[in-house]
Amino acid sequence: ADFGLCAQLTSEQSKWSSMVGKAHCMAPEYVNKDTCGTKADIWSLGVVVVEMLQGEPPYSKEIPLKVALDLVAKRGILKLKNAEQLSAVFQDFLTCCLQTSEDTRWSAEQLLQHPFLLSAKPLSSLTPLITVARQMREDRR
C-alpha cells in the first residue's frame, strides 16, 4: 500500500517528526505534531483498510482538510458504514490498528499474531478463483 510517506527508523532514531505524507493517513500523533514511531504506519494501514471498505478515507468530506485532521486527532475513526457485515475478528483487527493512543495501538509484531491474519488462507487458495475469472473474461470476448 502507498501511505504516501516513508522513513528509515533505527535503534538510534526510533521516531521522526517531519510532516510528510497523505493527510488522511496521518496518525493522531502525527497530526498533533508529536514525534512518530513505527506505530504510525499501523494507523495508516488501518486507514487504508477503511478506505478499501468504504471507498473513501475517513472524514474525506470534511472541508477544510485541517478539520478532518483535527477530528482524527481528537476522535479517531468513527463507526464504519455497514460494520454489522464485518466479522468480529476483522473489526477487532481494525480496532487494534486504529487506537488513537500510540501506546495502546498494536505493533506490527502483535498484528502478525492477530487471529484475523492467522486465519488467512495461503495464496495458492486463490488459484481456482483466478482460473475461473480468466475463463469468464475469455467467455466475454
Could you tell me which residues are beta bridge partners of residue 36?
A: 16
pLDDT at 130 over 90: yes
Query: Which of 105, 104, 31 has its CA nearest to residue 72?
Result: 31
Structural contact between residues 96 and 45, judged by C-beta atoms closer than 8 angstroms: no
Please give the CATH topology (third level) of the domain spanning 23-140: Transferase(Phosphotransferase); domain 1 (1.10.510)
Residue type, 23: A
Rounded Cα distance between 28 and 112, Å, is: 22
Split at pLDDT 50, 70, 90, the class of 80 is confident
The domain segmentation of the chain, as residue ranges, is 23-140
Tens digits of per-residue pLDDT, 4-44?
A: 445 555 666 555 445 455 666 777 777 767 677 889 889 88
Distance CA 16, CA 6 (A): 10
